[in-house]
Amino acid sequence: MVLFLFLTHLAIGIVFSLVVVSREAGVKFFRFNAGMAAILVAIAFVFRPAGVASTSTIVGLSALAVAEVAIVIYWASVGRGLAAIRPALVTIACAGGLAAAAQAVATTPEGTAGSLVLTFASFLSSAALLGGASTAMILGHWYLILPSMQVTHLQSIVKMHIASLVVRIVVVAAAVIVAIATWQPGLGPSFRHYILSAGGIFFWQRVLFGIGGPAVLSYLTWETAKIRSTQSATGILYVDFFAVIVGEVLAKYLWLATRVAV
């Protein structure tokens, strides 16, 4: 389930982030990213939730299948004069992917309305952060292929990455505050007790690698992009993307272990 959620969020985030990238990046850039997203969704199917085929599970996996078809058509349409349909394909792919991931939220029996909303917000912000980090890293690398491309395109995607990180931090902070504030005696160990126990090491690793690391690295990327040092910015983005991956995988594990969408 951890890998299913992670791969789905990454794939949908990549597709969504392509909207903000200029066409100057070239046909191969969009085709490469769309192809990678399609492969990630296909792998996610391998790690789909096992067990009883409930109605919500069937609906969720069907939505993911629709997203996969939309991504493949997007990949096939790049560079073939079908630009008019690509915005609709992006919308379908994102909606299908998020519906597939959100079915896990809907089947959480112990979730309150507030926690379910926060979990869905967590899924949205996770997809945006993962997709922005991945696309920014690949776009930075693309300057080796198209050195004449304007650096403003890299600056724009880095801005989006920073914005998605800020949203992610707000959602995580809200989830932690709500989890601590709404705990009542008799409901099992509190989240406060969990993060201060030995098991809380996973939470603090999530904060360090998934929030603290990207916060510093994205700022450094922005500063290097401002001075048009695309190679340095790309090197930092590689480390940034790795930190985001570690943080988001841990976030999925923590959600399954505690039902707190950090």
pLDDT (0 to 100) of residue 192? 85
Is 217 strand, coil or helix?
helix
User: How do the pLDDT tens digits run along the chain, 262 residues long?
Assistant: 899 889 999 999 999 898 888 888 888 999 999 999 999 999 998 888 776 566 767 777 888 899 999 999 999 888 777 777 888 888 888 888 878 777 766 655 555 666 788 888 999 999 999 999 999 999 999 998 888 889 999 999 999 999 999 999 999 999 999 888 887 665 566 788 888 888 889 999 999 999 999 999 999 999 999 998 999 999 999 999 999 999 999 999 999 888 888 8
Show which of 84, 107, 130 is a domain's final residue.
Answer: 107
pLDDT of residue 61: 83
Q: Which domain holds residue 150?
A: 112-262
The closest alpha carbon to 44, from 13, 75, 78, belongs to 13
What pLDDT does residue 188 have?
60
Q: Which among 78, 107, 136 is the end of a domain? A: 107
User: CA–CA separation, 145 vs 139, rounded Å?
Assistant: 10
- How many domains in the chain? 2
Structure tokens at 182: 């709404």
Do residue 119 and residue 194 come from a single domain?
Answer: yes
Longest pairwise C-alpha distance within the chain: 63
Residue 250: its pLDDT value, please? 95
* Residue 126 and residue 93 in one domain: no
> What is the Cα–Cα distance from 84 to 95, expressed in whole angstroms?
19
What's the predicted TM-score (pTM) here?
A: 0.92
Cα(257)–Cα(254) distance, integer angstroms: 5
Residue 142 near residue 25, CB atoms below 8 Å? yes
CB 7 within 8 A of CB 47: yes
User: What does the alpha-carbon distance between residue 147 and residue 187 come to, in Å, rounded to a whole number?
Assistant: 58
pLDDT at 22: 87
